[in-house]
């Protein structure tokens, strides 16, 4: 029996998601809203999957963000004082397990450079004859303004091959720091590496200035205390239960709902329950 249908690999390669997406566009979008609607329509028609749709939307979002929107705030920066000995700052490096640390003098407004944790290895294994000197090991710090566009910074990260920048305000004061991972997480979602503790006792973790990762089993009492909200806990004990009730059905990954002034997006779920949420604060007027 002859089969006239083309087969992948026999002169008719399977279309990529990008080709399918372009095929779905019957005309050029004239606004961002139209483009987002087309992307949603492509996902509804199974031309692209949910992960691809969210990644495309992430790229669009990044194009509208400033560094101030995603930076790690000054108060959460883990720094090393240039006058500390390696014995004094090594416990901080071991405990926090970051790959890069701003080196400061006096306070966080005086950035002297950046220490890469990997540069300590040669001294730890006695591969260097000379004594350890923080001044000789640290790298120059890259300074960027709060108002810099995130997509432009990503391009700069790639072309100049650095991974962290110190963020300053209009007066030159340090307001935070930003890494290439912070930008990539805006596009592809939260990135966990081998140092992330899956069983961490922290139920609420800051992603950036306006977004937080929240475990669905976080009690409403703890949630209210952290976000200064007043959600009732007489019917539901956890924030996941409250959000599921607000949906009116068991939501799928990627669905979002608004309760009060907060936006709740489901980032992890199974067939029975919500597991993880992304909570977004209201946009500033």
Domain boundaries, the chain: 29-64, 68-187, 204-280
Please tell me the predicted confidence (pLDDT) of residue 72. 86
Please tell me the predicted confidence (pLDDT) of residue 254. 84
Please tell me the predicted confidence (pLDDT) of residue 199. 43
Per-residue pLDDT of the chain (285 residues; tens, 9 = 90+): 444 444 444 444 555 555 555 555 556 667 777 887 888 888 888 888 877 887 888 888 888 889 988 888 888 888 999 998 888 888 888 878 889 999 999 889 999 999 999 888 877 666 566 778 888 889 999 999 999 999 999 999 999 888 999 999 988 999 999 999 888 888 876 665 544 544 444 689 887 778 888 999 999 999 999 999 999 988 888 999 999 999 988 888 888 999 999 999 998 887 678 888 999 998 653
Q: Which CATH class is domain 204-280?
A: alpha beta
**What is the pTM assigned to this prediction?**
0.59
Distance (Å, whole) CA 21 – CA 284: 33
- Same CATH topology for 68-187 and 204-280: the answer is no
Which DSSP letter does residue 193 get? Answer: -
Please tell me the predicted confidence (pLDDT) of residue 6. 47
- The domain defined by 68-187 folds into CBS-domain (3.10.580)
Q: Which of 156, 89, 149 is nearest to 119 (CA)?
A: 89
Please tell me the predicted confidence (pLDDT) of residue 185. 81
Please tell me the predicted confidence (pLDDT) of residue 178. 93
Widest CA span of the chain, in angstroms? 82
* CA-based R_g, the chain, Å: 23
Please tell me the predicted confidence (pLDDT) of residue 183. 87
């Amino acid at each position: 029996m002859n089969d006239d249908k083309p087969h992948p690999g026999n002169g008719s390669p399977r279309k990529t998601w990008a080709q399918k997406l372009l095929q779905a566009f019957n005309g050029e979008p004239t606004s961002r809203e139209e483009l987002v609607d087309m992307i949603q329509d492509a996902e509804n028609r199974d031309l692209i999957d949910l992960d691809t749709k969210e990644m495309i939307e992430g790229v669009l979002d990044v194009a509208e963000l400033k560094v101030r929107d995603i930076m790690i705030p000054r108060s959460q920066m883990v720094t090393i004082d240039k006058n500390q000995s390696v014995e004094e700052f090594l416990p901080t490096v071991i405990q926090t397990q970051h790959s890069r640390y701003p080196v400061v003098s006096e306070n966080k407004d005086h950035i002297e450079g950046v220490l890469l944790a990997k540069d300590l290895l040669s001294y730890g294994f006695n591969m260097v004859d000379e004594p350890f000197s923080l001044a000789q090991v640290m790298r120059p710090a890259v300074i960027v303004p709060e108002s810099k566009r995130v997509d432009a910074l990503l391009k700069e990260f790639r072309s100049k091959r650095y991974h962290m920048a110190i963020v300053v305000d209009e007066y030159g004061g340090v307001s935070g720091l930003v890494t290439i991972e912070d930008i990539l997480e805006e596009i592809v979602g939260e990135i966990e590496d081998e140092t992330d503790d899956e069983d961490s006792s922290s139920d609420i973790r800051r992603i950036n200035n306006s977004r937080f990762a929240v475990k669905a089993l976080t009690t409403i009492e703890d949630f209210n205390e952290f976000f200064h909200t007043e959600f009732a806990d007489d019917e539901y004990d956890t924030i996941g239960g409250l959000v599921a009730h607000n949906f009116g059905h068991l939501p799928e990954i990627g669905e979002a709902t608004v309760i009060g002034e907060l936006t709740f997006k489901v980032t992890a779920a199974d067939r029975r329950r919500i597991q993880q949420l992304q909570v977004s604060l209201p946009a500033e007027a």
